[in-house]
Each structure stands twice: as structure tokens, then as C-alpha cells.
Structure 1
Amino acid sequence: MTDRWLSVEDIGEHLGVSKDTVYAWIAKRRMPAHKVGRLWKFQRSEVDAWVKAGGASDDTPEATDV
């Protein structure tokens, strides 16, 4: 059985951060997220791996448009 897709609220609660922080991480830190219609959805395993790799760290440079 696979993990269910999580909403912005769900993933924020899982990580202990606000919805605004989640949206900022999607835009600036390339947080793994998938757009489904108008909604952002997340796989817990992808987000956990991103966090463990330092994606949410303040030391991680923000993504830039290239």
C-alpha cells in the first residue's frame, strides 16, 4: 500500500511549519510537490528525503530562475 497524497496543511503539520512556509519552500527551495489541478500535493517519503538531504536548511541556497 502506498502513502496517500498529503495537502499543504497536512505536510505543514507533519513538518511543524506554517502553510506560508510550505508555499515559500515550493517556490524558493524546490520542495518536492506536485500540482493536481489548483492544489499542491505531496508524498511524505519525498518530502522526508528532501528534508534529510538539507533542502529545508537555512544553509541551502535558494533556487534561482536560470
Structure 2
Amino acid sequence: MVTKITEREVKKINKDEGMEKVDKIVDIKDDEIMTVGEVAAYFKVSEDTAFKLVENGEIPAFKIGGHWRINKNELAKFMDKLKDGKGGNIGDD
């Protein structure tokens, strides 16, 4: 996700806050939020399976407006643990 800002908006950013605001705009792209459906497609599993993994706390997630959301960076950390053998297998009880 890339956020576009106009030249006018750029001029409004003052010197003290300028770099901080630009950094936040860049961070939006890096901290992409995924839906359960997107996670299911990413792992090539059914949405039901992805939902159960989220509900059971196996995949780190949070709710917004009653809908589960997954931070892509947190999902990457979770996958790294699986690759290192520290997280067990997905779906194990």
C-alpha cells in the first residue's frame, strides 16, 4: 500500500515534524495489515483453517470492528519461528 500526498500537503509539513511524518508514510507500506482471507491465500489453506489458527492464537492477530486483522510483519516473524522449528507445526494441538 502506497499513500500519495499532494505537493500542497508536503509544503504544510513543518521542519520539526517533516521527517517524522514522512517516516510514518513509509511505515504504512511496511506495516501492511492483512485479512484472514489474505492469510489463507498466502498459506494456501482454507479461510476456515486460517480463521481457526487466528482464533486459537497460533497466528498473532487483533480485531478491528469485530474483524480479525493480521500485521504482515508479525506474520513474517511467526513464519520465521516455524522455519526455525520453535513454533511447532501450524494447527498442532
Question: Which structure 1 residue ranges, 5 or more long, are not aligned?
Answer: none
Query: How many equivalent pairs are there?
Result: 61
Structure with more of its chain in helix, by fraction: 2
**Which string of whole-angstrom CA distances, capped at 9 and with x for unpartnered residues, describes residues 37-57 of structure 1?**
111011111112112212461
Identity within the alignment, %: 21
Give the aligned partner of residue 80 of structure 2: 52
Q: Deviation of residue 61 (structure 1)?
A: 5.4
Question: Which structure 2 residue ranges, 5 or more long, are not aligned?
Answer: 1-25
Structure of greater Rg: 2
Q: Which runs of 4+ in 1 moved over 6 A?
A: none
Give the TM-score of the pair, scaled to structure 1: 0.70
Give the TM-score of the pair, scaled to structure 2: 0.53
The one of the two structures with greater contact order (alpha-carbon pairs below 8 A, sep at least 6) is: 1
